[in-house]
């Protein structure tokens, strides 16, 4: 299993080697989403670095003893049984959200879990907006009605109710009240609505999918300690992957997969030197946690409906756009250049940082791409246009070139489109000092491209884009094949003209 994606190959919408190197849905395997690697500007293989700051072995023993499994072995450990005996859960459409009972007894953590529940309903409703013009109209109406009614019920649920419910449960024993519909004594009509919505979103029938109900389970970890415990547990359950999990870079991960479960942190890590401490995702903006959850859960939704036919780079662009649709901005820390919190990525001294590379707070300044776009409120069109115009000044190529800034903002470098599809596969990438700005360019470029394709390409843009999403759900074609079939032109080309989508997009950016 390759664990060190190369950063010398361009990451594009179709073949994003930074994201798609690993099949995060490999059955019964603990697979890492390499979020940490996205924060490093140089290639680094997980497992090549080994530290002892995090006591992974001790953490596993403590988890097993605490859960009454002191004598368990990797062969006898059951993730499903572990969750059934120690977690609460609720099914909300496609997603099943889980929270450990110990965290749920804390009112702040129970409140945050409730906010997450609200957010996944909102994101699914917004997804319907994107597919509605071409999806099953009757099913869409039914799903919208069920989301509305379930949202009303969720709004009446309080974190204090969840905390009180869990305080009355016995430790590490199965309890039917762990299902919040049961534990909170929801009406029969609410349970019927929940079941109907789960089947509709889980099967994807509204988009023409023909499959059994396939929920997306997400284990929420409000604090860094339970998240790191899950990482340690994954390395113990899967000894062949221990070197990938039992190392210090996991101190800054925000998600990974264990079997079919996505384990998601609701705090940012501060680094291996203080691995159990976290920074609240809402520390910079009041909806930071909900924005982060919405982006990562949307990635899961896209992966569930499309699998390998849609690369994670395209899924990421969809997710960023959905976050902006819901919140009017995207202040997540899930993609692009996230090195602002990692001192070693700057290769310069940071007061108070550890000699081996400390970690800056998550409130460090974001890239100029994010700030000058008002965090995506303009879909990054402003910064893209500025970089394109500056590229013209240096190259006299008005359409295809963009100017990058180095980390110190003291030197510039020109990069040239195409950036999308197979046409971009052999394009050179900038040197390491420009790599962070390049990642931000690609993030902005993809997000703006998806927005243009959905909203600005032509008068029928939304209709055709919904056809694309519905068509991809039921075809064996990959993204580039589907685009050419629906739009009549290829995604991209070396020449970049009006005869390909990327050329049309660049011309549109130039006119803004």
323 and 189 part of one domain:
yes
Q: 31 φ, ψ to 5°?
A: -120, 135
| Band (88; pLDDT cuts 50, 70, 90) | very high
pLDDT given at position 414: 94
User: Which has more confidence, 423 or 361?
Assistant: 423
pLDDT given at position 312: 82
164 and 67 part of one domain:
yes
**Whole-model pTM?**
0.87
| Band (13; pLDDT cuts 50, 70, 90) | very low
385 and 301 part of one domain:
no
160 and 268 part of one domain:
yes
**Distances 432 to 76, 313, 403, 439 between C-alpha atoms, Å:** 46, 21, 15, 11
Is 412 part of a structural domain of the chain? yes
Measure the CA–CA gap between 370 and 385, rounded to whole angstroms. Answer: 14
Is 36 part of a structural domain of the chain? no
182 and 299 part of one domain:
yes
The DSSP H or E segment spanning 147 is helix 137-156
460 and 387 part of one domain:
yes
Is 120 part of a structural domain of the chain? yes
168 and 307 part of one domain:
yes
Q: Is the pLDDT of residue 38 over 50?
A: no
Number of domains present in the structure of the chain:
2
- Section 261-274 average pLDDT: 93
pLDDT given at position 366: 84
Measure the CA–CA gap between 417 and 423, rounded to whole angstroms. Answer: 9
Q: Is the pLDDT of residue 500 over 70?
A: yes
308 and 392 part of one domain:
no
387 and 292 part of one domain:
no
Mean pLDDT of the chain: 86
**Distances 248 to 52, 252, 285, 311, 358 between C-alpha atoms, Å:** 7, 8, 28, 28, 12
pLDDT given at position 52: 60
Is 48 part of a structural domain of the chain? no
Measure the CA–CA gap between 394 and 408, rounded to whole angstroms. Answer: 19
Query: What angle do the packed helices 312-327 and 107-131 form, to 10 degrees?
Result: 110
Measure the CA–CA gap between 500 and 458, rounded to whole angstroms. Answer: 14
320 and 379 part of one domain:
no
pLDDT in tens, 129-147: 999 999 999 999 999 999 9
Q: What is the largest CA-CA distance in the chain?
A: 71
Q: Is 253 helix (H, G, I), strand (E, B) or coil?
A: coil
pLDDT given at position 1: 30
Q: What is the DSSP letter of 359?
A: B
Is 138 part of a structural domain of the chain? yes
CA dihedral angle for residue 38, residue 41, residue 46, residue 48, rounded to 10 degrees: -170
Dig out the tokens for 125 from the structure. Answer: 């409703």
CA 142 distance to own-chain centroid: 28
Is 29 part of a structural domain of the chain? no
215 and 134 part of one domain:
yes
The residue from 272, 307, 327 where one domain ends is 327
The DSSP bridge partners found for residue 87 are: 100
Q: Where are the alpha helices (DSSP H) in 307-434?
A: 312-327, 343-346, 368-372, 381-395
420 and 321 part of one domain:
no
Contact yes or no for 125/326 (Cβ under 8 A)? no
Q: Provide the residue range defining the domain that includes 483.
A: 365-511
Per DSSP, the chain holds a count of helices (H) and strands (E) of 19, 10
User: Which has more confidence, 25 or 328?
Assistant: 328
Matching residue, tokens 């003209």: 497
Q: Is the pLDDT of residue 511 over 50?
A: yes
Is 339 part of a structural domain of the chain? no
Q: What is the DSSP letter of 298?
A: H
Sign of the CA dihedral with 353 first, then 356, 360, and 362 last: negative
């Amino acid at each position: 299993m390759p664990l060190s994606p190369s950063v010398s190959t361009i990451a594009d919408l179709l073949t994003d080697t930074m994201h798609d190197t690993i099949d995060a849905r490999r059955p019964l395997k603990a697979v890492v989403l390499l979020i940490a690697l996205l924060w490093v500007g140089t290639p680094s293989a997980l497992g090549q670095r080994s530290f002892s700051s995090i006591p992974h072995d001790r953490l596993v023993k403590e988890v097993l003893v605490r859960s009454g499994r002191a004598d368990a072995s990797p062969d006898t450990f059951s993730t499903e049984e572990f969750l059934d005996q120690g977690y609460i859960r609720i099914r909300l459409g496609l997603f099943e959200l889980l929270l450990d009972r110990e965290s749920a007894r804390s009112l702040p953590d129970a409140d945050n879990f409730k906010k997450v529940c609200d957010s996944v309903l909102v994101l699914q409703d917004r997804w319907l907006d994107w597919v509605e013009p071409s999806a099953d109209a009757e099913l869409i109406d039914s799903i919208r009605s069920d989301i509305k009614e379930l949202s009303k019920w969720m709004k009446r649920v309080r974190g204090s109710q969840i905390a009180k419910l869990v305080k009355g449960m016995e430790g590490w024993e199965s309890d039917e009240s762990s299902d919040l519909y049961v534990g909170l004594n929801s009406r029969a009509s609410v349970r019927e609505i929940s079941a109907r919505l789960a089947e509709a979103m889980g099967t994807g029938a509204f988009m023409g999918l023909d499959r059994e109900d396939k929920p997306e389970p997400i284990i929420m970890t409000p604090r860094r300690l339970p998240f790191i415990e899950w990482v340690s547990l994954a390395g113990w359950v899967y000894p062949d992957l221990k070197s990938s999990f039992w190392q210090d870079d996991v101190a800054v991960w925000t998600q990974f997969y264990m079997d079919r479960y996505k384990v998601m942190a609701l705090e940012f890590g501060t680094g291996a030197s203080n691995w159990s401490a976290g920074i609240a995702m809402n520390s910079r903006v009041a909806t930071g946690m909900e924005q982060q959850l919405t982006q990562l859960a949307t990635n899961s939704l896209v992966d569930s409906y499309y699998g390998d036919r849609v690369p994670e780079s395209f899924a990421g662009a969809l997710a960023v756009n959905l976050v902006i649709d819901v919140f009017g901005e995207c202040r997540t820390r899930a993609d692009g250049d996230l090195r602002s919190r990692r001192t070693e990525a700057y290769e310069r001294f940071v007061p108070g940082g550890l000699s081996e590379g400390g970690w800056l707070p998550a409130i460090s300044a974001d890239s100029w791409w994010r700030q000058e776009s008002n965090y995506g409120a303009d879909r990054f069109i402003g910064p893209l246009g500025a970089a394109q115009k500056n590229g013209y000044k240096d190259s006299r190529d008005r359409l295809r070139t963009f100017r990058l800034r180095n980390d110190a903002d003291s030197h510039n470098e020109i990069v040239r489109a195409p950036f999308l599809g197979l046409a971009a596969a052999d394009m050179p990438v900038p040197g390491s000092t420009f790599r962070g700005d390049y990642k931000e360019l690609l993030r902005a470029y993809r997000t703006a491209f998806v927005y243009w394709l959905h909203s600005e390409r032509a008068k029928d843009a939304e209709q055709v884009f919904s056809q694309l999403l519905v068509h991809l759900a039921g075809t064996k074609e990959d993204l580039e094949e589907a685009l050419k079939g629906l739009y009549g032109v290829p995604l991209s080309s070396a020449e970049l003209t009006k005869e390909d989508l990327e050329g049309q997009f660049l011309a549109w950016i130039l006119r803004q």
